[in-house]
Amino acid sequence: MSQPSSYRQQTLPVEERPVQDTRGVLGSRLFAWIGDVVILFFLTWMVLVLLGILGIVTFGLTWLLMGGATIGVALGYAALTVGGRKQATFGMRMAGIRVETATGGRPDALAAAVHALFFYVAAGTVALWFLDILCGLARSDRRLGHDLLTGLVVVRA
């Protein structure tokens, strides 16, 4: 049984892909990440305070969620912002960049969350983070390793 064409990922030859402006995105990504870390700090803090207060009412049951709250907030933030209409987190918007698929389309929320997950796994491991950054420095389109794994491209807005 074959899948409908809407479910198949379209693979375009390099010469048919849209021209995507990736000049200077590596430096902009650093500043975008710093802005996003500040935003994520406050969002996570608010969620943890809410879970702490709810823990009193639920006799400690919601305190069990505190361990995964940081990961959930970070992945949810990426899914809602990068997977949203503007295709960028608030830090990316400040830095003037956004995320597209390799074919020039808009990423969905799942791809955005997986993209963020791969980034945080790489950033948590020095060797993987180094390889991730090295991919971006070696490639002309400045795509990092986690961009390649998810099929996304960071471009100028």
Which one is predicted more confidently, 3 or 110? Answer: 110
Confidence of residue 152 (pLDDT cuts 50, 70, 90): very high
Distance from C-alpha of 11 to C-alpha of 40, rounded to nearest angstrom: 34
Model confidence pLDDT, tens digit, residues 53-82: 999 999 999 999 999 999 999 999 999 999
- Is residue 5 domain-resident? no
Separation between Cα atoms, residue 5 and residue 91, nearest integer Å: 35
Any domain includes 1? no
Give pTM, 2 decimals: 0.83
- Number of domains observed in the structure of the chain: 1
- Over residues 107-130, the pLDDT tens digits come to 999 999 999 999 999 999 999 999
pLDDT: which is higher, 63 or 4:
63
Is residue 77 in some structural domain? yes
pLDDT number for residue 23? 84
Instruction: Provide mean pLDDT across the span 143-149.
Output: 93
Residue 148 lies in a domain: yes
Query: How many degrees, rounded to 5, is the angle at CA 132 between CA 130 and CA 135?
Result: 105
- The model's pLDDT over 6-53, given as tens digits with 9 standing for 90+, comes to 545 555 555 555 667 788 899 999 999 999 999 999 999 999 999 999
Q: What count of Cα atoms within 13 Å lies in the side-chain half-sphere of residue 21?
A: 7
Answer whether residue 16 is part of any domain: no
Longest C-alpha distance within the chain, in Å? 61
What residues make up the domain containing 29? 21-156
Residue 154 has which token pair?
A: 């960071």
Cβ neighbours of 149 (radius 10 Å):
15
Does residue 45 form part of some domain?
Answer: yes
Query: Which pLDDT does position 15 carry in this prediction?
Result: 56
